[in-house]
């Protein structure tokens, strides 16, 4: 296609307008991602000989990664964490909250504020707050409640670590889900519901035949955002359990951190980061392509 002078000028103008966004994107996102790919093919480390003289090792880090049971464990833990907290927990509870808030009932604004409150606390602070509630011993909040009820206390974070981490992340993410899904619900025209009611549709039919189909783009956009952002959750899990006990909550982000900054193997950690990036990319593309959502 041959562009005329006007179109060329227009393209240049558009590019100029995009530059303020493209330059930071290139410097802060694309360059680090490409550097991570390069780093993953070296034995770069934070200490030892490899820190002073890193060398190119080709795909050795990837071969090692795929033969590391702890890496596969972290992928499995991440899968459970994402499905449990983002897809089931946050979505279901966020959707229920969004639907409930549409109804003008007494106390709904207080309910909405309460749901949003967890987002006000930084994730590490939230993590430590939950430790104080879930820890074992006589002094933890939940233990005190158990003891008051005549029950023995439970060290929740050691006994049910992945479930607890999933629950806390669900608690933190309901607000975001609720806001997004409320916006989606608001976009459904009320006339459609009125017409359905006149045709004799019951609430269940209206939900399944009107709300869900019309909400699909919003739901899958939310799924895309929450899946990718949950894969990268680090601070809260690290604050809560540091990936323990015994790697049972070592999600991929914590695994990458542990390899890079506690075992000090930057190259190997970068290989894990590249794989995590690819997983996120594949998931994102799958969501967008299969549902034809315009992002």
Footprint of another protein (CB under 8 A): 43, 45-49, 51-52, 64, 137, 155, 157-158, 240-242, 244-247, 258, 261-265, 268
Report the residue number, 154 or 288, with the smaller CB distance to another protein. Answer: 154
CB of 49 to another protein, least distance (A): 5
CB of 274 to another protein, least distance (A): 18
Lookup: tokens for 157: 């974070």
CB of 157 to another protein, least distance (A): 7
Report the residue number, 100 or 155, with the smaller CB distance to another protein. Answer: 155
CB of 158 to another protein, least distance (A): 6
Cα distance between residue 84 and residue 230, in whole Å: 10
Report the residue number, 268 or 287, with the smaller CB distance to another protein. Answer: 268
Residues 6+ apart with CB under 8 A from 282: none
CB of 56 to another protein, least distance (A): 13
Asked if 236 and 127 touch (Cβ cutoff 8 Å), the reply is yes
Report the residue number, 29 or 159, with the smaller CB distance to another protein. Answer: 159
Cα distance between residue 282 and residue 280, in whole Å: 6
Cα distance between residue 289 and residue 130, in whole Å: 38
Asked if 178 and 118 touch (Cβ cutoff 8 Å), the reply is no
Report the residue number, 101 or 239, with the smaller CB distance to another protein. Answer: 239
- Least Cα distance to 71 among 279, 247, 191, 282 occurs for 247
């Amino acid at each position: 296609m041959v562009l005329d002078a006007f179109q060329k000028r227009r393209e240049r103008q558009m590019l100029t307008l995009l530059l303020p966004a493209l330059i930071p994107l290139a410097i802060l996102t694309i360059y680090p991602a490409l550097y991570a790919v390069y780093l993953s093919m070296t034995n770069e480390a934070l200490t030892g000989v490899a820190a002073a003289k890193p060398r190119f090792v080709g795909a050795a880090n990837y071969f090692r990664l795929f033969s590391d049971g702890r890496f596969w464990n972290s992928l499995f833990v991440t899968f459970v964490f994402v499905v449990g907290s983002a897809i089931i927990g946050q979505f279901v509870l966020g959707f229920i909250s969004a639907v409930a808030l549409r109804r003008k009932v007494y106390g709904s604004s207080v309910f909405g504020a309460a749901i949003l409150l967890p987002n006000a606390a930084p994730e590490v602070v939230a993590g430590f707050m939950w430790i104080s509630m879930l820890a074992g011993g006589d002094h933890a909040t939940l233990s005190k409640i158990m003891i008051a009820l005549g029950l023995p206390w439970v060290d929740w974070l050691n006994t049910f670590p992945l479930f607890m981490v999933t629950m806390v992340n669900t608690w933190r993410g309901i607000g975001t889900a609720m806001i997004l899904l409320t916006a989606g619900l608001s976009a459904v025209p009320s006339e459609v519901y009125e017409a359905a009611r006149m045709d004799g549709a019951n609430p269940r039919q209206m939900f399944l035949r009107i709300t869900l189909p019309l909400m699909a783009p919003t739901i899958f956009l939310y799924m895309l955002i929450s899946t990718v952002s949950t894969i990268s959750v680090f601070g809260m899990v690290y604050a809560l359990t540091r990936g323990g006990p015994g790697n049972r909550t070592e999600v991929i982000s914590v695994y990458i951190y542990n390899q890079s900054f506690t075992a000090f193997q930057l190259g190997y950690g970068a290989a894990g980061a590249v794989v995590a990036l690819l997983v996120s990319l594949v998931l994102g593309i799958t969501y967008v392509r299969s549902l034809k959502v315009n992002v």
